[in-house]
A and B are shown apart, each in its own frame.
Chain A
Amino acid sequence: MKKYIYKHRLIAIVLIIFYGCKKSSFLETRPDDSLVVPTSLKDLQAILDNDAIMNGNASGVGLMPNSGEISYNSYYVNDANFGGVLTPLEQKLYKWDKQPFTGEPNILDWDLPYRSVFYSNVVLDGLKKITPEASQQSEFNNIYYSALFYRAHIFYQLAQIFAPVYASETASTDWGIPLRLTADVNEEIRRSTVAETYSKIIEDLKSCAGELTTNPLYKTRPSKQAACALLARVYLSMRNYDSAFVYADKSLQLYNKLVDYNILMVTNTNFPFLNIRFNDEVIFHCLLRECLPLRLGAAIVDNTIYNSYNNNDLRKADKNNDLLKGAFYRFISNTYSFRGSYYGSVQLFSGLATDELYLIRAECFARKNSTSQALSDLNALLIKRWRNTVQYTQVTATDAADALNKILEERKRELMFRGLFWTDLRRLNKEGRNISFTRTVLGQTYTLPPNDLRYTFPIPDNVINFNPGMPQNPRQ
């Protein structure tokens, strides 16, 4: 018997050796070292720093909705490219179809921005589980307000496409966008009103403007000046010009550098801004969703716009003068295509930059009848676009209205392909500027009258399918 007990003890000892390492920790070892369950501030910051998803830097993808930009007429495609280059969805958007999304399995204009919202929410939910030490408090705060900024920015971008333009009189009854405020996949999804949408955006951005740093490590990260700049843009879209002025001004007081285009190295074939990718004008970097016509150079810049540049404007390309290679345009066989993205590639910059703020502040000055201040902002910008071998001609205006018109014209020249004009069109027509478009495709002419229902895109079908009862945007 004794012998047997001894043997069993031996087995027991061996089993304990096998168990040597504690079982729970053995089974909790991460299966892949590059895989983490994000719990630390470092992890959460890394989620926000995922510029492919939060800023759209993934090549061939982008982030911000482009349906508006494709629908806007700063460019045209010829019939061959219409059939050969444009995707079916782009063709429908180009022709202002009533139901452009029908039959499309995925509407990336909706899906990718909401993915970025999910990332922000994962961070915001993750922060709730962290009690920062005193030394981490500022890092903690910066992550928190950054996440709020990214989310508010996306909400604003989505509202420009999927919600009607803000109008104070109907905002509380118009349908806005679903405001996803947690990462919980079980939370009900419903549309807010336009008033709710904008008030959430503004509320979050205002808190960001108070708390974010003025000195972000990367331009893909938000900052105090970015929050102010975005507020200015948001108020502008709401036609709240007083507030837009306040925040544009605030932002420019924090940061107002401009780039003198004379320093650009421009050759026939390059992208002029490639070597100064995050140039001095950029406040916050993000990219528009990519679309084929722009990527493949099939989008031909509208002649009226091209011709409206002064010949000494460095943004303009001149086919007759090889020395005058344009920062914005490339001359290819009698037509001009755009190459002026601040990202320095075919991917379109749609972030916040000081040039836009100068124009916002100028517009707001003009609307306040401060003509000279308006013109001084405008000229401060334009002199940086002027060939330095030629004397700069100051822009003048007969009155505030003239100045306003000139500033709005300059917006079209300066902010090409940044995804801003669709919003401009919606707000300017709302105040009676009566801008309408026509396009001719394969002999057929299409028209988009002012204030048309087609200025608000439909909610994607699969979203409605997942949420029966969600109101759809009327298109006719």
Chain B
Amino acid sequence: MLFPNPLPRPGNVTIKTLRVMKITAFLLTVISLHAAAGGHSQTITISTKNAPLEKIFAEIKKQTGYEFVYRWELLQNTKPVDIDVKNATVKQVLDFCLKDQPLDYKILDNLIVLNEKAEPKDVRPPPLPLTDITGKVTDSEGNPLAGASIKVKGTNNGATTNEKGEFTIIGVDENATLIITSVSHETQEIKLNGRKDITVQLKIKITELGIVSVTVNTGYQHIPKVQATGSFNHIDNELLNRRVSTNILDRIENLTPGVLFNRGEAANTDTLLIRGRSTIFANAQPLIVVDNFPYDGNLSNINPNDMESITILKDAAAASIWGARAGNGVIIITTKKGKTSKTRVELNSSITWQQKPDLFNVNQISSSDFIDLEKKLYSLGYYNGAITSPSHQPLTPVVDLLVAKTNGSVPAAQADALIEALKQYDSRNELQKYFYQLGVNQQHAISASGNTEHINYYMGIGYDRNLSTKVGQQYDRISIRSQNTFKITRKLELTVGLNHIQSIEKNGNNPGYNYYSNAGKFYYPYTQFADEAGRPLPIYLHYRRGWVDTVGSGKLLNWLYYPISEINNTISKTKIRNNMINAGINYKIMNSLSVDLKYNYQNQVSTLNDEYKDLSYFSRNLINNFTQIGAGGVLSYPIPRGGILDLFNSEITSHQGRAQANYSQAWGTRHQLAAIAGYEIRSVITNGNRNRLYGYNPALSSVNPNINYTTVYPQYGTPGATAQIATNQSISKKTDHFISYYANAAYTYNSRYILSASARMDEANLFGVKTNQKGTPLWSAGASWLLHKEDFYKSGLFPFLRLRVTYGYNGNISRSTSAYTTASYNISTITSAPTATIQNPPNEKLRWEKVGIINFGIDFELKNKIVSGSIEYYNKKATDLMGQAPVDPTLGLSQNFGGSYFFGNVASMKGNGVEIELNSRNLNRSVKWYTTFLFSYSSSKVTEYLMPLSSAGSTYLSTIGINPIIGKPVFALYSFRWRGLDPATGDPQGYLNGNTSKDYTGIYSATKIDSMIYNGPVQSPYFGALRNTINIKNWSLSINISYKLGYYFRKNKFSYNTIFSSWNGSGDYAQRWQKPGDEKTTNIPSMPGYPFTNLIARDQFFQYAEINVLKGDNIRLEDISLSYDLDKNQWVKMPFSHVRLYLYIANLGTLWIANKEKIDPYYDYNNGPRERKRISLGLNISF
């Protein structure tokens, strides 16, 4: 009888039960042997080789009389036997013959019953000694792999890796085998062989998308992208470092679909938008999170070298974990951590040069045109008002000379010659020379990092120094970051991070081209800024030359304005110091359950000092204006002589805490659940104050505190005008308090069906009402299906195919109103009494804005990854938007200049969009060529808004003001219908009440919105990029081309009034209508007849006519990046492990512009100077 051989292993806890079983088995066997022995007692002698069992059975039957009973097929898998025995018992023979056969036997009387050999099911091998093991799972590049499932083979015991790729399993046989599975990676089995700490590297499943290996950081957890149902975009470190910039956000432009950076005129609406606008009056900026917490400081403080990657959360499922602040999308910036067990030191250094901007992009009236125009206007008497005005209005040099010529103080011929000579000057030459320079930006960073059994550390220092293209502008930044995780026990981890940033931005008084004096004058086209020797010249843009040269007969301060000297006479210095501390504890309670406690402290102090030196025009002008002439001509100075110092201080202090439980468990091979739940508290306090000090003397660090702020003084410069001395003092304090609860779960079945759900409740101190009305619950749900894993899925074309759908709500906060009557305090400037202004009437029904988003996504990959990508479609509905609703003015809620409305949840918007990202491997041999194509479509429109349409269409002409119209985007461009120039006079013509009209005032004020032209959106609805990367050996070249389509902008606004009264303007003047017939070739109106009757209205009508709205569509060569990489294994003698040299060129201009005038919409606003190429050289070394 076969007997399981008990293995004599000591110390076995279950030995008692085993013993019982063994006795029972023994007794049973003895009984059966007895029975057998009763019938036959003969022995067998047999000798044969290679005999089938049948033959042996026959021999046994012959010699002993035992009958064999078995099913025939049982012998199918048996082997022939060699046997040579003499006088052996039946049992001995059978035992020998069946030893290695899949057969068992029983002897029942004279029958031998053959059966399949039974597995020893009931009897387990004695358990091995159990132990707790920990480990780490990484991808093939050593990056931690979160969400991988680890199972002990043959048991239900197991765990899932956390965001650091780590896991712990309690109670494992030290010889057990672990099965490690991850949705995106090959399954691997590992035998422990007594090890208690293992590291497993998983290989990416060949068939799957590159992106699936990515884990996305939601700020609350890291989830493998392939398991995420929502819409995430990930920008990895390589992509993040593709561009050279001081500011981190600059680096994500044109790299990911759905994120729009507006440029040119559109940048005045929103600089950055994720998936279009879904609010009207509230902030439309995305929430920015660094690691785990919203970043409250100045974003330009973040050193990009310390950052690992960026994740953009776009739909409800992705972002709803951020609740009431996620309505505009969320940008998560993840900092660098230690990766390798050996200390890795990395050095990155780059220098960027930027050429002076191109001032000749400015379409400026030529000096000769302008001087001729001045002569004409002078002869018409246009300047008479200014010449005789008591307020010493300034005149240009030409007009000054013309006056002198008229009154004979300069001989006529000489005056004419001087005037003619001025025609040769072009202000842009000297502006470019004295006000602009080659911009040089330096960036240096060094870091050391590592990841050992006990500590994960990162330490980085960065230094930036930028010299702008404008003379006098400089920016310096130092950042120090340290982030360490101490693995105290296998269950307990402690994280401590410190970050210190200090930056100083210095600006001289250099407005560059765009100077506009407080008398409303620009630099005239022939302005000279310096004499031949380069000495600064004064310019008379504020007061009349003759007056300002002699005023006060030497008693006043010099009242001249020298633009070049002014650059250094006013220094504006912004100093920002930002300190961040974060601390965290992670404690593992069970394999599947851990708890995180996190705390984040941020303190940003910024000091802005505007120092107007005693020599600055600002100080001199203010002092002179307040100077009083007393009895006997004695002067007194209410504003003391000296400099003026404006101080603005602000401080942001935030404390944020979080307690979070993480649960992750797998059952069998099919079920996996990952969930988090947490509580968060957040307090952000912003303090600010400003002050102005007079009589500032930096050498002595002294000021003059004896200022009379109450007396009203007549102004020396402007007869009749009076003013008090400005105190410029204010103080403010703002507090944001939030308490939030959140939970999020994802369930994966059979690693192909994924369901996710998320809910969050936010409460804030926003509305000043009862606590139970402060909160807003927001939720989302999503599903994802990895279609290619199905058995029925046979497509060889798409080895990877995933479908996703999510739905849910994000919120948005508007601080524009409150549920209770609130009032803001101030001080009356007249009586000095404290005054309270009612900000809003009570509105108890106030709610937070809500954005519902449904998102469909498909991710796919062609065979061999030739093409991979994803397509997403979304639909948004924003409700409860804060908006104005008109009310009866009798209620008393009117504004100072009209409009009686209250703010409430009265508006709605909807929007939809498509985002496509395609990656292709065009060549993948020794030469590699990859292409990435991005396309985004995003449109939104107002669907509900209660304010009535203004009866004047002109209300809607502003491209940046918010005047919502139902059915249109928040920022929409409207214009007047254009009827062409009057062939007889060259006057612009429009329509009024359907008829051709030159009643410009009437057109401007009485054209209804439905009679105006809707040109289209100000923000581009179609945009994207095409990026080609070619790798040849160690070289890599990447070229990015971007495009923006389907939007409009208003071209440079030609205006006669601007040219006449501001002394400069559009060069379109040269194209003006001058004689009948010109209307066929130009749209620029004729010079109006003098005296001007309707000058401003005529200009305005023309500026806002449809012909001046141009298509913004453009394709541009964004940048080129070239790099050379050298690895130690390629050059063993190299002292570094890796070296990278890179060249980066940006601002390369447009490839195509849709509008006929070929005006680049990025620079047209004010027709300003065009930025030119930026070239960076860099070096990256790691040890």
Contacts and interface: CB of A to CB of B under 8 A. Distances in A.
Interface in A1-52: 4, 7, 10-11, 14-15, 18-19, 23-24, 26-38, 42-43, 46-47, 49-52
A96 to B, nearest CB: 22
A46 B659 contact: no
A57 B732 CA distance: 24
Contact of A463 (B661, B771, B825, B889): B889
Contact of A189 (B722, B820, B890): B890
A27 B765 contact: yes
Contacts of A42: 834
B894 A106 contact: yes
Contacts of B633: none
B835, B836, B888: which has the most chain A beta carbons within 10 Å? B836
Contacts of B837: 50, 52-53
A130 B899 CA distance: 33
A443 interface: no
Given A46-B823, A46-B836, A106 B888 contact: no
Contacts of A27: 737, 739, 763-765, 771, 774
Contacts of B831: 49, 51, 218, 220
A105 B734 contact: no
A11 B589 CA distance: 11
A46 B825 contact: yes
Contacts of B733: 32-34
A106 to B, nearest CB: 3
Contacts of B683: 26
Contacts of A106: 889, 894, 898-900
Contact of A4 (B589, B825, B836, B891): B589
A60 B897 CA distance: 9
B720 A50 contact: no
Interface in A62-100: 88
A37 B828 contact: no
Contacts of B712: 274-275, 277, 344
A57 B830 contact: yes
A111 interface: yes
B839 interface: yes
A38 B839 CA distance: 11
Band of interface residues on B: 35 or more
A57 B833 CA distance: 13
Given A49-B833, A111-B889, A32 B824 contact: yes
B549 interface: no
A115 B736 contact: no
B587 interface: yes
A180 B893 CA distance: 13
Interface residues of A, number: 75
Contact of B892 (A37, A115, A271): A115
B659 to A, nearest CB: 6
Interface stretch (A116-124, A192-200, A239-247): A116-124
B889 A35 contact: no
B735, B768, B887, B888: which has the most chain A beta carbons within 10 Å? B888
B950 interface: yes
Contacts of B820: 37
Nearest to A24: B771
Nearest to B822: A35
Interface string B594-617: 010100000000000000000000
B823 A35 contact: yes
Given A23-B739, A29-B765, A36-B823, A50 B828 contact: yes
A339 to B, nearest CB: 9
B771 A115 contact: no
A271 B719 CA distance: 11
Interface string B810-826: 00000100101111111
A217 interface: yes
Contact of B821 (A19, A28, A38, A115): A38
A114 interface: yes
A263 interface: no
B681 interface: yes
Contacts of A14: 597, 659
Given A27-B737, A114-B894, A122 B589 contact: no
Contacts of A60: 896
Nearest to B826: A34
Contacts of A18: 657, 659, 679, 681
Given A49-B834, A105-B950, A122-B838, A30 B893 contact: no
A36 B822 contact: yes
B838 A37 contact: no
Interface in B996-1043: 1005
Given A30-B768, A36-B836, A110-B889, A88 B1005 contact: yes
Interface in A177-226: 178, 180, 183, 185, 189, 217-218, 220
B824 A462 contact: no
Contact of B825 (A34, A110, A118, A277): A34
Contacts of A116: 892
B719 A269 contact: yes
Interface string B880-907: 0000001111111110111110100000
A103 interface: yes
B838 A270 contact: no
A338 to B, nearest CB: 14
A122 B890 CA distance: 14
Contacts of B897: 61, 108
A236 interface: no
Interface string B296-331: 000000000000000000000000000000000000
A383 B1093 CA distance: 47
Contacts of B830: 51, 57, 220, 277
Contacts of B771: 23-24, 27-28
A350 to B, nearest CB: 15
B512 interface: no
Nearest to A178: B890
Nearest to B820: A37
Interface string B570-599: 000000000000000001010000010100
Contacts of B657: 18
A339 B722 CA distance: 14
Given A118-B893, A189-B888, A466-B887, A31 B765 contact: yes
Contact of A103 (B739, B902, B951): B951
A31 B841 contact: no
Contact of B735 (A23, A30, A43): A30
A280 B1159 CA distance: 64
B390 interface: yes
A445 B830 CA distance: 43
B397 interface: no
Nearest to B589: A7
Contacts of A31: 734-736, 765-766, 768, 815
A112 B896 CA distance: 7
10 contacts: A31-B736, A33-B734, A47-B836, A49-B833, A51-B835, A105-B951, A110-B889, A185-B841, A185-B842, A189-B888
Given A7-B587, A29-B737, A114-B889, 14 more contacts: A4-B589, A18-B679, A19-B681, A26-B683, A27-B774, A33-B734, A47-B823, A60-B896, A112-B896, A114-B892, A116-B892, A117-B892, A275-B712, A467-B890
Q: Which 5 A-B pairs have the closest CB atoms?
A: A118-B892, A106-B898, A111-B894, A46-B836, A466-B888
Interface of B: 390, 587, 589, 595, 597, 657, 659, 661, 679, 681, 683, 712, 714, 719-720, 722, 732-737, 739, 763-766, 768, 771, 774, 815, 818, 820-826, 828, 830-831, 833-839, 841-842, 886-894, 896-900, 902, 950-951, 1005
Interface of A: 4, 7, 10-11, 14-15, 18-19, 23-24, 26-38, 42-43, 46-47, 49-53, 57-58, 60-61, 88, 103, 105-108, 110-112, 114-119, 121-122, 178, 180, 183, 185, 189, 217-218, 220, 268-271, 274-275, 277, 344-345, 460, 462-463, 466-467
